[in-house]
Amino acid sequence: MNGAQTTTRAAVRLTGLRKHYGEVRAVDGVDLAIAPGEVVALLGPNGAGKSTTVDMMLGLTRPDSGEVSIFGAAPAEAVARGAIGAMLQGAALLDDATVGEMVGMIASLHRKPMPVAEALRRAGIEDLANRRGTKLSGGQKQRVRFAVALVSDPDLLVLDEPTAAMDVSSRRDFWKSMHAYTDTGRTVLFATHYLEEAEEFADRVVLMRAGRIVADGSVAEVRALASGRTLRAVVPGATAVEVAALPGVTEYEVRGGRIAVSTRDSDTTLRAVLARFPDAHDIEITAIGLEGAFLTLTADEENDR
């Protein structure tokens, strides 16, 4: 865990980052180092502090305390150098300009942009080059924002919920283009609500809750933090007291002859179920997924504020 903390020159290094809004501790002491080439998913429930963290990384919000370093420089400098490409939630697009003009305008602000046609191709919107901002669907606008993020040919891409408003097939295409980009060794940090996107596309998952990082590691590591299995079975006549007494059980539910238990040791629990309830049938054991880990690790956030 935190393997990247030891690298000498991190792509991103956040140290003791804090941002409070009155009573709300939007970001409450975040330390994070991302090594060049890593693809990191920033996960967390609504209000966890993801967007505030991203805004501070980009120099859009000034931290109350702590530091942000992007390839060893302050955010404003990294942005001016074209080292960061950002795709923000609902970033404004120009209604009267065409897609090609918009991406071209951003390209002209940078010293070494990639050709506009290439940015459009990478974002999968070559066919929209002449379309005006007002005529774009929500998902198409997202791709235009992606092209804008790419056109400076940045080493670090920061994406806040990039696939919001995209349908399933656009989402798949988006991640395909993203892969093509990360295969060239670029660093990516993306905030998302989609656990499957984190599982599928990130090398590393950083889980935030109430302004803090509560888990950081590979998908498998984060999943293991909330390790355990769920055992479900039809067990005629089982009572709550009997089920609660089964070995290994941490949580249980008994309803209409069906039991569902969370267990630390599913082998032992299963043996006990079969010994005590020979009529048990339709037995199913499932591993806790990233979703289970997410729910466990982000539970009780209201109590933390």
Among 4, 34, 52, 222, binds ligand ATP (CB under 6 A): 52
163 near ligand ATP (CB under 6 A)? no
303 near ligand ATP (CB under 6 A)? no
- Asked if residues 297 and 276 have their Cβ atoms less than 8 Å apart, the reply is no
Q: Pick the closer one to ligand ATP by CB: 55 or 155.
A: 55
Measured CA to CA in angstroms, residue 211 lies from 16, 36, 89, 158, 203 at distances of 12, 24, 19, 18, 22
Residue type, 257: G
> Least separation, in Å, of the C-beta of 211 and ligand ATP?
7
Q: Pick the closer one to ligand ATP by CB: 50 or 229.
A: 50
Q: In the sheet that 204-209 helps form, which strands lie side by side, from edge to edge? A: 84-87, 156-160, 187-192, 39-43, 204-209, 212-217
Among 17, 34, 50, 140, binds ligand ATP (CB under 6 A): 50
Contact set for ligand ATP, span 7-36 (CB under 6 A): 21, 24, 26
Instruction: Please enumerate, as own/partner, the contacts of 201-204 that have beta carbons within 8 Å and a separation of 24 or more.
Output: 201/39, 201/41, 201/175, 202/39, 202/40, 202/41, 203/38, 203/39, 203/40, 204/4, 204/34, 204/38, 204/39, 204/40, 204/41
> Least separation, in Å, of the C-beta of 64 and ligand ATP?
12
51 near ligand ATP (CB under 6 A)? yes
47 near ligand ATP (CB under 6 A)? yes
Contacts with 130 (C-beta within 8 Å, 6 or more apart), sequence order: 98, 99, 100
Q: Pick the closer one to ligand ATP by CB: 114 or 149.
A: 149
Q: Pick the closer one to ligand ATP by CB: 194 or 234.
A: 194
Among 46, 134, 169, 250, binds ligand ATP (CB under 6 A): 46
Contacts with 152 (C-beta within 8 Å, 6 or more apart), sequence order: 82, 85, 106, 107, 109, 110, 112, 113, 114
- Asked if residues 26 and 20 have their Cβ atoms less than 8 Å apart, the reply is yes
142 near ligand ATP (CB under 6 A)? no
How far apart are alpha carbons 150 and 82 in whole angstroms? 10
* Size of interface with ligand ATP, in residues (CB under 6 A): 11
Q: Pick the closer one to ligand ATP by CB: 21 or 115.
A: 21
Q: Pick the closer one to ligand ATP by CB: 48 or 148.
A: 48
Among 44, 85, 113, 292, binds ligand ATP (CB under 6 A): 44
> Least separation, in Å, of the C-beta of 32 and ligand ATP?
14
Q: Please report, as ranges, the residues that interact with ligand ATP according to CB under 6 A.
A: 21, 24, 26, 44, 46-52
